[in-house]
Amino acid sequence: MTRIAYQGEPGSNSHMVINLHHPDAEAVPCASFEDAFAAVTSGQCDLAMIPIDNSLAGRVADIHHFLPTSGLHIVGEHFLPIKFSLMGTPGTTLESIKTVHSHVHALGQCRRIIRKHGWTPLISGDTAGAAREISEANDVTQAAIAPPLAAGIYGLDVLANDIEDEAHNTTRFVLLSREDRRAPSGNGPVVTSFIFNVRNLPAALYKALGGFATNGINMTKLESYMVGGEFTATMFLAEVDGHPDEPGLARALEELRFFTTEIKVLGVYPADPFRAGLA
């Protein structure tokens, strides 16, 4: 059986996306992203399911630092519309709640219901962990905001469903493997993810990206972050539509090499059908 590591506790969104897209796999919870990466690197697990972007909260910052040095490769992606439920121990009512517990991002994405009822938000390590804590506390003045899956796991009653402020709240997950299993070209839409450092020259980034424009390559992501805590050392994470074996993207990457000190392809993988709806 395939074992897929994820960060968080049973009932989290990462657990949900594994159940949804890989129902025959064993989902293996890990305390941190670093532990999830290590589980795959060591061979304890075959794959890792890691959130990389959220449509409201933006990028998951830690991932951008782990990916380049992890030795792992992106072999797939999945988009999950995020649905949060309010849950409490049996007997809890909306009127009895005083405090609501969840991950900081979940609390930020459910401000409307919290403000409406005047509850005090308290930060937990993750959403499913908050559900477990509420179950253990067995206190009707406390409630958790968590994915619906968590309620059944921890024996909680769902008091309200779909409480997120924005209906478009979506998280993108990437599937990581020790093996560089690149999707074949000519077999449907493909995404190529890579990182690069630009040379310390005037307009180097502008020139580096010119090849993608002239070759008609659609760049769907470009993010920068500092390397080693230095303000002068910047790494970029980019994602483009297409396969490196296709002439246009091959030419764009070749041109990119003239203006960079390093290029590393992180993965070439099938585009999730969800992207078609985004377009």
Question: What is the secondary structure of 227-257 as a DSSP string?
Answer: ETTEEEEEEEEEEEES-TTSHHHHHHHHHHH
Asked if 263 and 195 touch (Cβ cutoff 8 Å), the reply is yes
pLDDT of residue 276: 81
Chunked mean pLDDT (size 10), the chain, 279 residues? 95 95 97 94 97 82 78 96 96 98 92 97 94 97 97 97 90 96 92 89 84 94 76 80 96 92 94 83
The one catalytic residue in 37, 66, 173, 236 is: 173
Length of the chain: 279
Would you state the structure tokens that stand for residue 223, as one six-digit string?
Answer: 């993010």
Alpha-carbon gap, residue 234 to 199, rounded angstroms: 10
The one catalytic residue in 171, 192, 194, 260 is: 171
pLDDT of residue 122: 97
pLDDT of residue 83: 93
Q: Mark whether 171 is an active-site residue.
A: yes
Q: Mark whether 236 is an active-site residue.
A: no
pLDDT of residue 229: 62
pLDDT of residue 262: 86
Left, alpha or beta for 188 (phi > 0: left; psi -120 to 50: alpha)? left
Task: Pick the closest to residue 6 from 32, 41, 25 (CA basis).
Answer: 32
